Amino acid sequence: MTNDPKTTEVCYVKGVGETRAKQLNKLGIKTVSDLVTHYPRGYIDFNNISSIADAPQDEYCVVKARVFSKLSPYYGNIAIYRALVSDGTGEMIIVFFNTKYSFQRLKTGEEYCFYGKAGGNILRREMNSPIFIEAERQKFLMPRYSLTQGISHNMISNYIRNALNAYSFPEHFSEDFLSEYRLMDYNDALKKIHFPASAEEYQHAKRRLTFDELFLLQLGLKSMRNRKKILTGAKMANKDIKAFYSSLPFELTGAQKRSIRECIKDMQGDSPMSRLLQGDVGSGKTAVAAAACYFAYLNGMQSTLMAPTEILAAQHYDTLRGFLEPLGVKIALLTGSETPAKKKAVRKAIADGEIHLAIGTQTLIQKNTVFANLGLVIADEQHRFGVEQRAALSAKGENPHTLIMSATPIPRTLGMIIYGDLDISTLDEMPKGRLPVRTYGVDSSYHERLYKFILKYAENGFQSYIVCPLVEEGISEKASAVNYIEKLQHTCLKDVPTGLLHGKLRASEKDEVMRKFKDGELMLLVSTTVIEVGVDVPNAVVMMIENAEQFGLSQLHQLRGRVGRGSEQAHCILVTDNKSEFTKARIDTMVRTCDGFEIANEDLKLRGPGDFFGSRQHGLPPLKITDIGSDLELLEETRQAADKVLASDPLLQSPDNTGLKKMVAELFDDCYDA
């Protein structure tokens, strides 16, 4: 048994043991360190007192009142204990069920702070099973933790106290650093975040721990990025790409031109480009990618573009051939479903350098794909690919340039963190003449009318999507989609050629359905949420989304982006019977704007950034204590602090920074040394 809290299993903490350790594991708590960094998700502030008369009905609040009398218990199926309390503005009955112990702690004549839901009615207020403390401890903030089966607040709180007493959590910053950034000692901060004696103590502890989190995150991302400032084997020379501009069937937007300039400048640098191209659906990312490929071609280098699905790869193949073949660029498509003979031939042409641009799926990554001289790697719809997959593709060249395309707009503040290791180009301007999608929010009484609307379009040769809901809990995604199609058989849409997409289809089956839809063999596509990102069907003009309340704003925006890609006015109909304020706010936002960045900001406000962090897709460590919405100032401060450390030690190699380097490596698991 070691004494390092980072490696010591939680079962060794006094009072925990094997059984509880298993339960704690479910909360992600494996080691002693995990336990003490299981931060409270909120606190009960016993200072924030409501009078009994004004206690908000059916909401949680704190009431400070004196026990007037304890009523005689009622013993039925369960024992009910009641006490009458009063605070001068009114009286209230405090009720406990089966918890004699809590009841006994209350002393007649004494004053307490009770936290709970104020129920009952104006004449007779009631609070069931409150949490309470003696009134003189009122300054105390009581932590609330995420719990799991078998683990109560008291247990967690005791375990944490025992761990803090038994183990030491060494300070990882120097004294100078602590005083420069006005930070409390690490050990103190851990104690005070769990057992704050006052709001001020909590604030200081929270600041210290948030600082750690944001600082280490940025230190890691930035030092990884410094490491990328290796030399590229694909340094390019300035070439004139005028021929590309004049061969396009349209005038590029200002944002497209700017992004192209940014890429071209990067590719002439000594170190490889690491750039994210972000732009809303339809903003024209493909043309920017094409320009970059053309520039590589003029420099005698190969490019490769990886798409997450076959259908997207095929679509890029068609588009890019249109843009680039007239200029002499030879393009090949390499996907899993090609015959082995065809694949072999394509691979040979790539290896011989006859192909200038290889487009494909993950098949590109396979060992037997070899490039003659790969200079540029492009990954489309970035969130589908892991960091490793991109790295595998890059390994096929000599530190080639990388461009990642994403249609998920990220608010700037988040982008700074999430893509801390990338430069960002933003397509914030739509091609001219695009009609914004008209968006409506309706309830399910509109169904008949909506189906007629879709039918009318189908009769005029325009296609539609319906995103069907997951109706009931327990019913599979596939079953609910199939049920929905069944239901459509009893509506005016019964004769419209309809396809079905759901998550249980094999990739090749999905591609087949998408292809038929793209080719116009199907006029209506009923789908669960698996509609392929990025598939371009300009002829689809109606998007109807059932149970719209089940989707996040950004998701709704992505779905809406499937239509409105042609010149015909497109419509998006959000169907929901949910009347909550939250749903209403989201629907209103969707109706009001088609701007992906504005929507991303609203989403962040409404839901918080939980979606972005802790999901493996970004390869980022979860944020345990930071609240991106309100910790903006610290974000800036920690960014500067990280820059300052790295200015003198870009790769964290100095002995002074060994401790920091170790912490960063732990934070990023294995990624850091990859």
Burial class, 11, CB count within 10 angstroms (exposed 0-12 / middle 13-18 / buried 19+): middle
Main-chain phi, psi angles of 102, to 5 degrees: -60, -45
Q: What is the full DSSP assignment across 303-358?
A: EEEE-SSHHHHHHHHHHHHHHHGGGT--EEEE-TTS-HHHHHHHHHHHHHT--SEE
Report the partner that residue 279 touches, choosing among Mg ion, ligand ADP, none (CB closer than 5 to 8 A by kind): ligand ADP
- Comparison of 258 and 607: residue with beta carbon closer to ligand ADP: 258
* Distance in Å, CB of 502 to Mg ion, minimum: 23
Binding mask 386-425 for ligand ADP (x = CB under 6 A): ---------------------x------------------
Chain centroid, CA 342 distance in Å = 39
* All residues at 6 or more sequence positions from 215 whose CB lies less than 8 Å from its CB, including other chains: 638, 641, 642
Q: Determine the Cα–Cα distance for residues 673 and 230; give it in Å rounded to an integer.
A: 15
- Comparison of 210 and 558: residue with beta carbon closer to Mg ion: 558
Closest-by-Cβ residue to Mg ion is 534
The answer to the question of residue 282 lying near ligand ADP (CB under 6 A) is yes
The answer to the question of residue 307 lying near ligand ADP (CB under 6 A) is no
Q: Which of 38, 194, 208, 285 binds ligand ADP (CB under 6 A)?
A: 285
* Distance in Å, CB of 285 to Mg ion, minimum: 5
The answer to the question of residue 635 lying near ligand ADP (CB under 6 A) is no
| Number of residues forming the site for ligand ADP (CB under 6 A) | 18
Report the partner that residue 83 touches, choosing among Mg ion, ligand ADP, none (CB closer than 5 to 8 A by kind): none
Q: Determine the Cα–Cα distance for residues 302 and 359; give it in Å rounded to an integer.
A: 11
Taking the alpha carbons at both ends of the chain, their separation in whole angstroms is 30
User: H helices then E strands: how many in the chain?
Assistant: 22, 23
Report the partner that residue 582 touches, choosing among Mg ion, ligand ADP, none (CB closer than 5 to 8 A by kind): none
- Interface with ligand ADP in residues 332-391 (CB under 6 A): none
* Distance in Å, CB of 282 to ligand ADP, minimum: 5
- Comparison of 143 and 534: residue with beta carbon closer to Mg ion: 534
* All residues at 6 or more sequence positions from 200 whose CB lies less than 8 Å from its CB, including other chains: none
Sign of the torsion angle spanned by Cα atoms 258, 263, 267, 272: positive
Q: Which of 283, 363, 498, 527 binds ligand ADP (CB under 6 A)?
A: 283
Report the partner that residue 208 touches, choosing among Mg ion, ligand ADP, none (CB closer than 5 to 8 A by kind): none
Residues found near Mg ion in the complex (CB under 5 A): 534
* Distance in Å, CB of 290 to Mg ion, minimum: 12
The answer to the question of residue 287 lying near ligand ADP (CB under 6 A) is yes
Q: Determine the Cα–Cα distance for residues 539 and 543; give it in Å rounded to an integer.
A: 12
- Interface with ligand ADP in residues 544-573 (CB under 6 A): 565
- Comparison of 209 and 407: residue with beta carbon closer to ligand ADP: 407
Binding mask 425-454 for ligand ADP (x = CB under 6 A): ------x-----------------------
The answer to the question of residue 316 lying near ligand ADP (CB under 6 A) is no
Which residues on adjacent β-strands are paired with residue 113? 64, 133
Cα angle at 198 between 147 and 606, to 5 degrees? 55
Q: Which of 97, 250, 476, 521 binds ligand ADP (CB under 6 A)?
A: 250
Of 603, 662, 658, 591, nearest to 628 (Cα)?
Answer: 603
Report the partner that residue 284 touches, choosing among Mg ion, ligand ADP, none (CB closer than 5 to 8 A by kind): ligand ADP
Checking 247-255 for CB contacts under 8 A at 24+ apart, the result is 247/323, 247/326, 247/327, 248/287, 248/323, 250/431, 251/432, 252/284, 252/287, 253/283, 253/284, 253/427, 253/429, 253/430, 253/431, 253/432, 254/429, 255/279, 255/283, 255/426, 255/427, 255/428, 255/429
Report the partner that residue 586 touches, choosing among ligand ADP, Mg ion, none (CB closer than 5 to 8 A by kind): none
- Comparison of 190 and 252: residue with beta carbon closer to ligand ADP: 252
Using the contact rule CB under 6 A, the part of the chain among 125-133, 276-284, 342-350, 395-403 near ligand ADP is 276-284
CB 275 within 8 A of CB 423: yes
* Distance in Å, CB of 230 to Mg ion, minimum: 30
Helix (H) or strand (E) holding 129: none
For binding to ligand ADP (CB under 6 A), which residues are involved?
A: 250-253, 256, 279, 281-287, 407, 431, 534, 536, 565
